[in-house]
Amino acid sequence: MDGQWLDNMNQWRWVASSRIGTSHQRLGTRKQDAFKCFLAPSLSPIVCAIVADGAGSAEFGGQGASIVCRTLSIALKAHFKTTDDLPGSDDIWAWLDDVRDCLGNAANNRAIRRQSFASTLVMLIASQDRSVVAHIGDGAVVARDNTGKWTALSWPENGEYASTTYFVTDDPVPRLRVTEIPEAYDGYALFSDGIEDIGLDQSGLMPHQPFFNAMIRSLDQSPIIGHNQSLSSSLGAFLDSERVCARTDDDKSLILLSSL
């Protein structure tokens, strides 16, 4: 059984990086983004990826993003210890309640409101033939089909006013979008809003094809299974480059996944 589990894990490889924005560097504030990416403890080849972006207006937004990623990671690992079925909407709503409870406890410890830990959420759970996306706020998930075309699985959602969005901490209930996708894809990208201007064609409501093709090329060619630390370091250097920072002063988080 253990051998079968290890064989099935040889299906996904990924790179991931999160870099502080120049605006936070100027202000001397911490990075607000957080992320997690891991293979599920299942017999089937399933990968889980999460990106969270703490609200710039929230005093503890960065801590909120970290709590979101950690709490959902624990829930996902517990889920896949007992089943290979991808979670459904009811599962994700239950986990989101746990996240909000954790954020509430953190707020109570400081005698402040839960909204002080406001964060967005982008989450992908993908097997070889289908996937589930959970999304609150901005950021996005895009995927590559077997023809090499990138398509958006979940688009950024902005709030009523300019430069606003939705958060896990919103009351009475967060604006959660759960999408079950029956199609197979061999590549995915999740990212925070700091990547939107580079990776998305806002006028055509499509991923920017040349950008994602260039970003995932080295990963596609890599023989390393699971997390590629060397390529992740290179990705981090790219996110810190003048070319990227000239386009955005926000934090930048990007996870790229490729299937063998």
The model's pLDDT over 138-184, given as tens digits with 9 standing for 90+, comes to 999 999 999 999 999 999 998 766 678 999 999 999 999 999 999 99
Read off the pLDDT band of 9 (50, 70, 90): very low
The whole-angstrom separation of Cα 14 and Cα 198 is: 20
Indicate the length of the chain as a whole number.
Answer: 260
Q: What is the mean pLDDT of the chain?
A: 93
User: Which pTM value belongs to this model?
Assistant: 0.94
Pick the CATH number of 2-259 from 3.60.40.10, 3.90.180.10, 1.10.1510.10, 3.30.70.940: 3.60.40.10
Structure tokens at 163: 């430069």
Q: What mean pLDDT comes out for the span 98-122?
A: 97
Query: Mean per-residue pLDDT for 101-129?
Result: 97
Question: How high is the pLDDT of residue 55?
Answer: 94
- For the chain, the structural domain boundaries read 2-259
Q: How far apart are CA 189 and CA 35, in angstroms?
A: 13
Distance of CA 100 to the CA centre of its chain: 18
Q: Residue 134 has what pLDDT?
A: 98
Percent of the chain with pLDDT over 70: 95
Q: 106 or 26: whose pLDDT is higher?
A: 106
pLDDT tens per residue across span 192-226: 999 999 999 988 889 999 999 999 999 999 999 99
**Euclidean distance between the first and the last CA atom of the chain, given in angstroms as a whole number:** 22
Tell me what pLDDT residue 202 has.
Answer: 85
Per the model's pLDDT, the better-predicted residue between 134 and 225 turns out to be 134
- Average of pLDDT values for 111-120? 97
The pLDDT assigned to 2 comes to 41
Average pLDDT over residues 96-123: 97
Please tell me which residue, 260 or 112, carries the higher pLDDT value.
Answer: 112
Q: Which residue has the higher pLDDT, 61 or 6?
A: 61
pLDDT for res 127: 94
pLDDT band with cut points at 50, 70 and 90 for residue 8? very low
pLDDT of residue 204: 81
DSSP three-state, residue 39: strand
Q: What is the DSSP letter of 55?
A: -
Q: Measure Cα distances from 110 to 32, 57, 104, 117, 256 in Å.
A: 19, 17, 10, 11, 36
